[in-house]
Amino acid sequence: MTRPRGIRNNNPLNIRRSADRWQGAATTQTDKNFVQFESMAYGYRAAWRLMQTYYRRLRRQKKRFTVENIIARWAPPNENDTTAYMRTVLMLSGLGGNENLLPPQNVQGYGRLARLMEAMTVMENGIRPVAVDTEAIRQGYDLAFPDNVKELAEWLREEDEYADW
């Protein structure tokens, strides 16, 4: 069975090729439409950085950083069935479409945005949720925001302590 394109490219959210020079991009780019990364962690790093860009642009436009606004940009109607994409992502992530999300670089926002990325990975690649490499999502965050590595580790440890309540 052939692995989905985004997984083969280590680009789980199918980031399109552009003039951007992504950290961790594979030296040889054989896919004419999508960026190929050295590892899945670098693919998620790029996704985290794009989320940060979306956050900044939405703020400049006086809009909120919500799943609805993110998906409207990520999966525009001229390329996707945006409504179906949104419905699936909301169902898989358990997030609300108009829920105000914290900026990506804010450690307390990690959990919700990581769930969003998991759901988007499922949607982009047609894979089952259990097939998503959640450790690579975390590694990608660490690569995107290296100053937050220690703080995120502490926050995740605290979150885990309360998981059984």
Q: Count of domains in the chain?
A: 1
Does residue 164 lie in a domain region?
no
Q: What are phi and psi of 37, to 5 degrees?
A: -110, 160
Q: Which pLDDT does position 158 carry in this prediction?
A: 82
Look up the domain containing 77 and give its range.
5-156
Q: Decide: pTM greater than 0.85.
A: yes
User: What does 141-158 look like in DSSP terms, one character per residue?
Assistant: HHHH-GGGHHHHHHHHHH
E strand or H helix that includes residue 128 = none
Q: Which pLDDT does position 159 carry in this prediction?
A: 73
What is the spatial distance between Cα 36 and Cα 28, in angstroms, rounded to a whole number?
A: 8
Given a cut of 70, the residues of the chain with pLDDT beneath it are 1, 160-165
